Amino acid sequence: MIKIGILGSTGYAGSELVRLLSSHPYAEIVFLDSRSYENKSYTDIYPHLESKLDKKCSSIDLMDDSHFKNLDLLFCALPHGLSQIAVKQGLKNKVKVIDLSADFRISDVASYEHWYQVEHLAKEEVKLAVYGLCEINREKIKTATLVANPGCYPTSILLALYPLLKEGVIKAQGIIADSKSGISGAGRNLSDANLFSQCNENIRAYSLCKHRHIPEIEEQLSLYSDTTLTLQFTPHLIPMNRGILSTIYADMNKNLSCSEVYDLYITYYSDEYFVRLLSGGKLPQTKAVSGSNYCDIGFDIDKRTGKIIIVSAIDNLIKGASGQAVQNMNLMFGLDEHIGINQLPMWP
Amino acid sequence: MIKIGILGSTGYAGSELVRLLSSHPYAEIVFLDSRSYENKSYTDIYPHLESKLDKKCSSIDLMDDSHFKNLDLLFCALPHGLSQIAVKQGLKNKVKVIDLSADFRISDVASYEHWYQVEHLAKEEVKLAVYGLCEINREKIKTATLVANPGCYPTSILLALYPLLKEGVIKAQGIIADSKSGISGAGRNLSDANLFSQCNENIRAYSLCKHRHIPEIEEQLSLYSDTTLTLQFTPHLIPMNRGILSTIYADMNKNLSCSEVYDLYITYYSDEYFVRLLSGGKLPQTKAVSGSNYCDIGFDIDKRTGKIIIVSAIDNLIKGASGQAVQNMNLMFGLDEHIGINQLPMWP
Amino acid sequence: MIKIGILGSTGYAGSELVRLLSSHPYAEIVFLDSRSYENKSYTDIYPHLESKLDKKCSSIDLMDDSHFKNLDLLFCALPHGLSQIAVKQGLKNKVKVIDLSADFRISDVASYEHWYQVEHLAKEEVKLAVYGLCEINREKIKTATLVANPGCYPTSILLALYPLLKEGVIKAQGIIADSKSGISGAGRNLSDANLFSQCNENIRAYSLCKHRHIPEIEEQLSLYSDTTLTLQFTPHLIPMNRGILSTIYADMNKNLSCSEVYDLYITYYSDEYFVRLLSGGKLPQTKAVSGSNYCDIGFDIDKRTGKIIIVSAIDNLIKGASGQAVQNMNLMFGLDEHIGINQLPMWP
Amino acid sequence: MIKIGILGSTGYAGSELVRLLSSHPYAEIVFLDSRSYENKSYTDIYPHLESKLDKKCSSIDLMDDSHFKNLDLLFCALPHGLSQIAVKQGLKNKVKVIDLSADFRISDVASYEHWYQVEHLAKEEVKLAVYGLCEINREKIKTATLVANPGCYPTSILLALYPLLKEGVIKAQGIIADSKSGISGAGRNLSDANLFSQCNENIRAYSLCKHRHIPEIEEQLSLYSDTTLTLQFTPHLIPMNRGILSTIYADMNKNLSCSEVYDLYITYYSDEYFVRLLSGGKLPQTKAVSGSNYCDIGFDIDKRTGKIIIVSAIDNLIKGASGQAVQNMNLMFGLDEHIGINQLPMWP
């Protein structure tokens, strides 16, 4: 059994992690950290786990090494700053770490500090971090001690663009990603913007030109394309619980047909359990991935404009967060990659 | 492996059956019957099963015995009338049958014919049918050849009232069940009443005093209470996909405290995997059971009025339909009762 | 022009009042009080009023009489306690007051203090208050200096039962009201229970047997029926913004047909602009009243159980709060009753 | 009074027209045409208009000139083909016509026939048609006999881009419009894609590269920019009833600051009652326009990419359909432009 501690276990990413690990045959949860709900029974906060999980939340003192003693793995779902210290402490205590925050996703620390407007407190550890997009960095993840779990928007955009940029099918410059997310992406924070009556029957764009996932996406896309590229990214909030749909626009570099591009995607993804390519003009929808770790990808080429439009869909809390975190765990511990995360999507 | 045919596989109950059976270790789907989608690939209709299920729909001629040749089990999710013939044919061909329609749930055929306004075409088979509420009829189900899978509203109401009526804690007469259902309960039928813009931001009651689940519920409750009782039942449609919440009002027969009633429930349900009793005044909510086969039950006693109010919650497509059908299958084939249906609920 | 001050203008009841008064031909808003948003532009908080309203919020010191100097009318939408002081101050300064809180709705101060668990700070003013259910107390409202605007649930229940109790058609004891409300009823408060992801795809009952609207409803119903009655009331939250649907169960006292009961309702309501009786078995739905000041009422009698089931629907923020408050204002100032609140409902 | 006939009155655009005209002081509805609901009372289909409208639907024989005898204005909300004949007949009978279909919006008949894959049956009348985007074609509309009411997506996109293209601020080529619409845009048609359970908790793109609004938008944008431009347009369906949000990407032609672009917008729109420019980086949201005829516009310039991102929001059934149709009527009949359509948006 893998002995696991979860820091920040009562947000939505944390609770989804708890749900998935509760049914994972090789996982044993040692502690559920929570500042806000210390000493409260976990099922008082998340009643769906009633009868399955009988544990109280504890507030872990990160400076007390004893907490890390018997752990094999630390999941860290804390806000930035806190996350940096936690990861440092975990690694110091020889515990493998999967960090769900953004703190270790960007290898260019200066860029991180510019976009997040804070000083990074664990610069050395950044160098150890592997960017945990499993389909792309699988081999590195297997031997990593620190995995930076990708952001939800980045996951949906990177998987869609990886083969196209690798093969030079599209131009690296001028890419636009217009993403739409369910409200759970904003977490379980008490914020006016998260209230039901503010979100329901409403759609809005936010963080125009300045969302913090931009440097993360750009760094990865630049790696794929061997250039330094600049991305236009616009996130939107739409009235549903789960799901991200990204609509991505790029200029074709070569004059390929849809079936040629499909074949190219197949070369990259035919063996990938969690990536499903839609053929014949079919397009992804979030309902088709909801509750699962799948990423669905479809596309069309517009002969009139010379652009390709790629659409990708994920469940933001699973492939976009905790499902991918468990996928990373499976890789790091030599397990079959889809153990514990092969639930089928729910419809409707 | 249990060889399975599914009649009416493309409604929501059918598709949920297909989803659950696709991951069931002992199930093998032989055919997916559908009149409307004959020869269409199943994943064109239900894209969430993409990559997991590669099967076409076929339109089964019920009169052709050869379809039943190699089957162990027939799930029947057809409209009434059709269902009666299908069950007849299945049983004639020595295939066990689980029927999800209402046709074999009511043992009093005259009552059935009165409420459904049709002649019953398989009166003899009605006598063979076991009412498939697993927690209550478990032993009979194990040896049944025909199981009538309970309705969604009845499941939520019967489990809530069973211990109370059995023990004479409440008066049998004057019970009121006010139920609220997500829209998927109405199926995937093209009806004006099912359109998004008609349902969203709306709630309405329907079939006041005449919903067809009334005789089904009354027959069972009468068995529990050893009287012939009459129920007031009002269903409502609310703007969500899944879930039924039933709020049930009954007059107390004895002057018991909440904790005494709780203990009584415990006597009946403490060993039931799929029934979760909420203690300490906690109340069920549909989100806490969504995606699972659980039935959550909570209650309170109003000293001012002398009434007990019981609230129960299920996922209408799982415990209220296909999950319970698989639970019945497990019982009929001697399997562990929760195989294939022990997914945890999803939150949010 | 009626010069108006609004205390607590940035909750949903407050903002709906602002919206309605902005288009009211005889209303002039003097101040918009808000503690939380002092000095903020009102349209920063409620952008739908952009270009129509150019005013900042101010935080009114209730003890400073000068604020009430040039006012004709004070709308008070504050939490209890605060509301009591505000009303006191308004009346002292000869300003008419419409209070949207519960503080002056219950004439039995002891009952108020029991249910609300606070001491009442304006007991004398309670005696002056008229319960502002316009259809029933119209004449008293016209000359009132203080109107206690009814609660949302009470409005939907009282209008449905008034003619039946007055005429002795139903038994006064044993009435059950099962109500379902959109989330805006909980206001714009930062509470975990109001978050989108907690409410969407969910339904739950709350405040079982102890909701604070119970004494308010009971007091009024007791007046109608000339007895002291006890009510069973269960509120539920459902995933929509606006609307309340109440399903009410009562025992028939006399053996009347549906058309006889319909005629009786007509005697009471045929001249009421804002009450719409549905005939021929049609039932109300919240969408049909959304955005309007209407209360729709339908019903059916169950011969099997001897009960009548009445269903009523209102927009909780309009007829259930601010629309009715404006209706009260119109009456108090001798205006045509439906000025400023005769907008038609929106569908879909 | 303007005597009005409405063809196709029972779709959502039709019903919204009926609602708005019911409260319009100068409108008198002569007939409500409907094939599907002939002889049915209109309020049986749209119960929100109960007590306000007492009229039955009739099925108008377009070939019978007598129907047009006493009309001043014909609103036509029919599917294409039928619409062409209806408009022909109306004009022949000297009745002014506002057509809500796409049939007369595109002056290039060959383009129309290419995108709609039908022969146009009223080519001569196309020449008479004025494109009814009131803010831009106001003067022509005043004297028009036939107005082609703009599509919902086009309205949201054209108003956002008009000043920028007119002033040459952005490049005409390479514009991308990514639009998100509520489900009511798909009408009240019985289609699987419109079912609640298919749409709720789901988002999908559709008609990639081939939506029929493309030629309509391109023709207008080409007029503004004095070039022939090609547009990338992707519509999405999101789970809400009303509203369209368009996120539009264009390359800046000149190096302008946000405040310079804002000033430019102001030059065009400061006198426009129904266009609201958001300043200071504020962005539109559909809730802020819901129930109103407003179009809200906000934007930001990305220095990193050299692009401007413009976001616009409308209520698709009002400014995107029936509200704009009434605005056109007001102009054609010399009335104050906002009579009957100046309702404030509803929040929440």
Give the tokens for residue D46.
């749209």
Residue percentage of chain D with pLDDT more than 70? 100
| Amino acid letter for position A317 | L
Residue A344 within any structural domain of the chain: no
Do C113 and C186 lie in a common domain?
no
B343 neighbors B291 (Cβ within 8 angstroms)? yes
Do B100 and B167 lie in a common domain?
no
Residue B330 within any structural domain of the chain: no
Is the pLDDT at D281 greater than 90? The verdict is no
- Rounded Cα–Cα distance for residues D303 and A113 (Å): 19
Residue D76 backbone phi and psi in degrees, to 5: -120, 115
Is the pLDDT at A82 greater than 90? The verdict is no
Residue A254 pLDDT class (50, 70, 90 cuts): confident
pLDDT, residue A253, reads: 95
H-helix or E-strand containing C302?
Answer: strand C295-302
Do B114 and B164 lie in a common domain?
no
pLDDT, residue A280, reads: 85
Q: Nearest residue of B to residue D239 by CA position?
A: B196
Write the residue in D180, D240, D290 that is nearest to A180 by C-beta: D180
- Contact flag A309-D204 (C-beta cutoff 8 Å): no
The answer to whether B271 contacts chain D (CB < 8 Å) is no
| Amino acid letter for position A37 | Y
| Amino acid letter for position C207 | S
Q: Domain count of chain D?
A: 2
- Rounded Cα–Cα distance for residues B120 and B312 (Å): 32
pLDDT digits (tens, 9 = 90+) for D126-178: 999 999 999 999 999 999 999 999 999 999 999 999 999 999 999 999 999 99
- Rounded Cα–Cα distance for residues A196 and C184 (Å): 8
- Contact flag A190-C188 (C-beta cutoff 8 Å): no
Taking CB atoms and an 8 Å cutoff, what residues of chain C touch B208? 281, 283, 300, 302, 309, 311
Do C6 and C117 lie in a common domain?
yes
* β-bridge pairing C204-205 and B275-277: unpaired
- Calculate how close chain B gets to D79, using CA atoms only, in Å: 19
pLDDT, residue A158, reads: 98
- Calculate how close chain C gets to B31, using CA atoms only, in Å: 33
Write the residue in A190, A191, A241 that is nearest to C200 by C-beta: A241
Interface probe, candidates B197, B206, B290, chain D, greatest D C-beta count within 10 A:
B197
Do C177 and C260 lie in a common domain?
yes
The answer to whether D315 contacts chain C (CB < 8 Å) is no
pLDDT digits (tens, 9 = 90+) for B214-250: 999 999 999 999 999 999 999 999 999 999 999 999 9
- Contact flag C194-A192 (C-beta cutoff 8 Å): no
Residue D322 backbone phi and psi in degrees, to 5: -80, -30
- Rounded Cα–Cα distance for residues A148 and A99 (Å): 5
- Contact flag C300-B208 (C-beta cutoff 8 Å): yes
Residue D82 pLDDT class (50, 70, 90 cuts): confident
- Contact flag B195-D194 (C-beta cutoff 8 Å): yes
- Contact flag C243-B209 (C-beta cutoff 8 Å): no
Interface probe, candidates B16, B17, B23, B48, chain A, greatest A C-beta count within 10 A:
B48
Do C171 and C102 lie in a common domain?
no
The answer to whether B346 contacts chain D (CB < 8 Å) is no
The residue count for chain D:
348
- Contact flag B190-D190 (C-beta cutoff 8 Å): yes
The answer to whether C345 contacts chain D (CB < 8 Å) is yes
Taking CB atoms and an 8 Å cutoff, what residues of chain C touch B290? 201
Do D170 and D111 lie in a common domain?
no
- Rounded Cα–Cα distance for residues B53 and D245 (Å): 37
pLDDT, residue D59, reads: 96
Give the tokens for residue B81.
């009338």
The residue count for chain C:
348
Q: Nearest residue of C to residue A12 by CA position?
A: C197
The answer to whether B240 contacts chain C (CB < 8 Å) is yes
The answer to whether D258 contacts chain A (CB < 8 Å) is no
H-helix or E-strand containing D267?
Answer: helix D258-269
A33 neighbors A6 (Cβ within 8 angstroms)? yes
E-state strands within chain A: 2-7, 27-32, 73-76, 96-99, 130-131, 146-148, 176-181, 204-205, 232-237, 244-251, 275-277, 295-302, 307-314
pLDDT, residue D113, reads: 96
- Calculate how close chain D gets to B265, using CA atoms only, in Å: 35
The answer to whether C188 contacts chain A (CB < 8 Å) is yes
CB within 8 Å of chain D, chain B residues 72-131: none
Helix spans in A183-302 (H): 196-199, 213-225, 258-269
Is the pLDDT at A311 greater than 90? The verdict is yes
The catalytic residues of C are 152
pLDDT, residue A79, reads: 84
The enclosing domain of D196 has a CATH number of 3.30.360.10
- Contact flag A239-C196 (C-beta cutoff 8 Å): yes
- Contact flag D309-A249 (C-beta cutoff 8 Å): no
* β-bridge pairing A73-76 and A2-7: parallel
Chains in contact with B, where contact requires at least 3 CB pairs less than 8 Å apart:
A, C, D
The answer to whether C236 contacts chain B (CB < 8 Å) is yes
**Looking at residues A145-156, what average pLDDT do you find?**
98
Residue D296 within any structural domain of the chain: yes
**Looking at residues A57-68, what average pLDDT do you find?**
95
Do B190 and B286 lie in a common domain?
yes
Residue B257 within any structural domain of the chain: yes
Do B311 and B162 lie in a common domain?
yes
Closest by Cα among C213, C298, C302, C181 to C250:
C302
Residue percentage of chain A with pLDDT more than 70? 100
ipTM value for the complex: 0.97
Do D158 and D294 lie in a common domain?
yes
Do B177 and B296 lie in a common domain?
yes
Give the tokens for residue D108.
């290039």
The answer to whether C345 contacts chain B (CB < 8 Å) is no
Active-site pick, B152, B209, B258, B295: B152
pLDDT, residue A262, reads: 98
Q: Nearest residue of A to residue D173 by CA position?
A: A305
- Rounded Cα–Cα distance for residues B203 and A80 (Å): 42
The answer to whether B47 contacts chain D (CB < 8 Å) is no
Active-site pick, D57, D76, D134, D152: D152
Is the pLDDT at B207 greater than 90? The verdict is yes
Write the residue in A231, A236, A287 that is nearest to D180 by C-beta: A236
Taking CB atoms and an 8 Å cutoff, what residues of chain B touch D12? 197
pLDDT, residue A223, reads: 98
The answer to whether C290 contacts chain D (CB < 8 Å) is yes
Residue D327 within any structural domain of the chain: no
- Rounded Cα–Cα distance for residues D98 and D81 (Å): 16
Q: Which residue has the tokens 């000043």?
A: D163
Give the tokens for residue C58.
């101010």
Residue B336 within any structural domain of the chain: no
CB within 8 Å of chain C, chain D residues 324-343: 342-343
Write the residue in D188, D190, D197 that is nearest to B197 by C-beta: D188
Residue C278 within any structural domain of the chain: yes
Write the residue in C188, C194, C241 that is nearest to A201 by C-beta: C241
Q: Nearest residue of B to residue D185 by CA position?
A: B197
Closest by Cα among D312, D296, D323, D266 to D132:
D323
Residue B101 backbone phi and psi in degrees, to 5: -80, 180
Chains in contact with A, where contact requires at least 3 CB pairs less than 8 Å apart:
B, C, D
- Rounded Cα–Cα distance for residues C162 and B213 (Å): 32
Residue C186 within any structural domain of the chain: yes
Tell me the pLDDT of chain D averaged across its residues. 97
pLDDT tens string, chain C, 348 residues long: the values are 999 999 999 999 999 999 999 999 999 999 999 999 999 999 999 999 999 999 999 999 999 999 999 999 999 999 877 899 999 999 999 999 999 999 999 999 999 999 999 999 999 999 999 999 999 999 999 999 999 999 999 999 999 999 999 999 999 999 999 999 999 999 999 999 999 999 999 999 999 999 999 999 999 999 999 999 999 999 999 999 999 999 999 999 989 999 999 999 999 999 999 999 999 889 999 999 999 999 999 999 999 999 999 999 999 999 999 999 999 999 999 999 999 999 999 999
The enclosing domain of B56 has a CATH number of 3.40.50.720
C36 neighbors C78 (Cβ within 8 angstroms)? no
pLDDT digits (tens, 9 = 90+) for A207-247: 999 999 999 999 999 999 999 999 999 999 999 999 999 99
The answer to whether D198 contacts chain B (CB < 8 Å) is yes
Tell me the pLDDT of chain A averaged across its residues. 97
Is the pLDDT at B254 greater than 90? The verdict is no
- Rounded Cα–Cα distance for residues B301 and B305 (Å): 9
Q: Which domain holds residue D93?
A: 2-128
Tell me the pLDDT of chain B averaged across its residues. 97
The answer to whether D245 contacts chain A (CB < 8 Å) is yes
D329 neighbors D160 (Cβ within 8 angstroms)? no
Closest by Cα among C193, A42, A318 to B285:
C193
- Contact flag B190-D188 (C-beta cutoff 8 Å): no
Do A121 and A162 lie in a common domain?
no
Closest by Cα among C204, C212, C214, C222 to C177:
C214
- Give the angle subtended at the CA of C10 by the CAs of C8 and C12, to the nearest 5°: 105
D302 neighbors A232 (Cβ within 8 angstroms)? yes
- Contact flag B198-D196 (C-beta cutoff 8 Å): yes
Torsion of CA B130, B134, B139, B140, to 10 degrees: 0
Q: Which residue has the tokens 């004479």?
A: B168
